[in-house]
């Protein structure tokens, strides 16, 4: 059998984002093992065209329909031969294609849920980077994966680390492997040591400047509030079938230990690496094999100290809100994610202060009521209703002043 016949065909959802770019970097290094079948983006067609020239996918999808014509013309002028599609429904068509082996799900926020669901229904291997779909519908997605013999592999650094520290079987796990605790590490973001009373004055540019990771704007804000870690607690609960009281967050500013698993016999296993998304992506793409990757190996001699501390819930109230939502049922978890997305967008648009984020999320969560969804369709309904409710509250929110500047 030739090397080409053994290649896995990969669809990268959100190829112009940070996860997508890192994925393509891995594929470029391991082109004997993988070929790009499809690339998708929402609006960055300049970078999408650059990627198309390098990887020659069969399909390009731009989810913003207003850019379909412009992308089609550029592909035709450059004689690239890719089939151009547009709209969110095209994502579902692409991930369901019989020739696709692996889907890398890197679309930010709730927008990535539908395509992941369709891929799992077709029995695909899905590498999930965006935590929001698993937060919104983790139990549904795990069930769909089981029924269709599909595979969910986490490629966010923390859950991939947990995966590597567990017995070598594919998620989802039953909590019967002698595990006493899952320890999710958190960098603490850019404001770990900022006086709490100064958080009301931080700017967007300060909040998106993560000390260790290069990420998109939304997830960078979630890191600064530690809502991202709260969402990861929910994700771990669903993906690894872990009771919420066994999932603990530990602040680790160096971002070298990406997570740990503690066992009942006193052993604690940890996964360590320099902060580089190519490490978890390369692991999941090649799983269960280990394949050489051109990344900087960890040098323990360079580690002068590794610090760990408990999170301060007064500094990071969003983390507490996430824990609380898990105790209130599925509707609370779905609405938390939706409300957070709306409120974070408000901060990024300079409509509210950074310190208002948690206040507004808690206020909307208190006032919003919905029945627990029992189907994936009902998850979408709760998500839409929570977004609408949060948008209305955001428009009426009375801040002390107008916040300008980035």
Condensed to tens digits (0 to 9), the pLDDT of residues 159-184 reads 999 999 987 655 555 456 788 899 99
Q: Which residues contact 362 (CB under 8 A, 6 or more apart)?
A: 317, 321
Residues 384, 115: Cα–Cα separation, whole Å: 17
> What is the residue extent of each domain of the chain?
3-154
Q: Which two tokens stand for residue 66?
A: 């207003």
Encode pLDDT of 122-160 as tens digits: 999 999 998 889 999 999 999 999 999 999 999 999 999
Residues 324, 332: Cα–Cα separation, whole Å: 9
Q: Is the pLDDT of residue 400 over 80?
A: no
Residues 25, 10: Cα–Cα separation, whole Å: 13
Confidence grade of residue 1 (pLDDT, cut at 50, 70, 90): very low
Encode pLDDT of 312-340 as tens digits: 999 999 999 999 999 999 999 999 999 99
Q: Helices (H), strands (E): how many in the chain?
A: 16, 11
Residues 73, 51: Cα–Cα separation, whole Å: 16
Going edge to edge, which strands form the sheet with 151-154?
A: 83-86, 59-62, 34-41, 8-13, 102-105, 125-128, 151-154
Average pLDDT of the residues of the chain:
91
Whether the Cβ atoms of residue 251 and residue 309 lie closer than 8 Å to each other:
yes
Whether the Cβ atoms of residue 332 and residue 365 lie closer than 8 Å to each other:
yes
Residue 402: the pLDDT is: 43
Residue 399: the pLDDT is: 54
pTM: 0.90
127, burial (CB in 10 Å: exposed 0-12, middle 13-18, buried 19+):
buried
Residue 304: the pLDDT is: 80
In this structure, is the dihedral angle defined by the CA atoms of residues 33, 38, 43 and 46, taken in order, positive or negative?
Answer: positive
Pick the CATH number of 3-154 from 3.40.50.720, 3.75.10.10, 3.40.640.10, 3.60.40.10: 3.40.50.720
Q: Is the pLDDT of residue 38 over 60?
A: yes
Residue 58: the pLDDT is: 97
Q: Which two tokens stand for residue 106?
A: 């890197």
Encode pLDDT of 253-296 as tens digits: 999 999 999 998 999 999 999 999 999 999 999 999 999 999 99
Q: Percentage of the chain with pLDDT > 70?
A: 94
């Amino acid at each position: 059998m030739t090397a080409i016949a053994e290649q896995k065909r990969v669809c990268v959802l959100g190829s112009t984002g940070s996860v997508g770019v890192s994925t393509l970097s891995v594929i470029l290094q391991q082109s004997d093992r993988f070929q790009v079948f499809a690339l998708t983006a929402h609006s960055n067609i300049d970078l999408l065209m650059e990627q198309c020239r390098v990887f020659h996918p069969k399909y390009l999808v731009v989810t913003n329909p207003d850019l379909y014509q412009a992308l089609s013309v550029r592909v035709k002028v450059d004689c690239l031969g890719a089939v151009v599609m547009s709209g969110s429904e095209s994502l579902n068509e692409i991930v369901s294609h019989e020739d696709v082996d692996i889907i890398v799900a890197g679309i930010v926020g709730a927008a990535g849920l539908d395509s992941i669901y369709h891929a799992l229904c077709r029995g695909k291997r899905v590498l999930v980077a965006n935590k929001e779909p698993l937060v919104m519908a983790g139990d549904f997605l795990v069930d769909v994966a089981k029924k269709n013999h599909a595979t969910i592999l986490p490629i966010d650094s923390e859950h991939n680390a947990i995966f590597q520290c567990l017995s070598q079987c594919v998620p989802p796990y039953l909590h019967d492997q002698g595990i006493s605790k899952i320890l999710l590490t958190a960098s603490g973001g850019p404001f770990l040591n900022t006086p709490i009373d100064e958080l009301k004055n931080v700017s967007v540019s300060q909040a998106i400047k993560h000390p260790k990771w290069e990420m998109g704007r939304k997830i960078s804000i979630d890191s600064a509030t530690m809502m991202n870690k709260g969402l990861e607690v929910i994700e771990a609960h669903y993906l690894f079938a872990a009771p919420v009281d066994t999932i603990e967050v530990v602040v680790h500013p160096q971002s070298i230990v990406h997570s740990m698993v503690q066992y009942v016999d006193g052993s604690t296993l940890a996964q360590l690496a320099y902060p580089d998304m190519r490490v978890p992506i390369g692991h999941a793409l090649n799983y269960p094999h280990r394949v050489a990757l051109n990344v900087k190996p960890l040098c323990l001699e360079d580690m002068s100290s590794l610090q760990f501390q408990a999170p301060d819930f007064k500094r990071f109230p969003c983390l507490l809100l996430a824990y609380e939502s898990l105790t209130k049922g599925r509707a609370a978890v779905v609405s938390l994610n939706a409300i957070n997305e709306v409120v974070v967008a408000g901060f990024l648009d300079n409509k509210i202060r950074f310190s208002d984020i948690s206040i507004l999320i808690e206020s909307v969560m208190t006032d919003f009521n919905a029945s627990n969804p029992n189907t994936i369709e009902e998850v979408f309904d709760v998500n839409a209703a929570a977004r609408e409710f949060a948008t209305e509250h955001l428009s009426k929110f009375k801040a002390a002043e107008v916040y300008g500047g980035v």
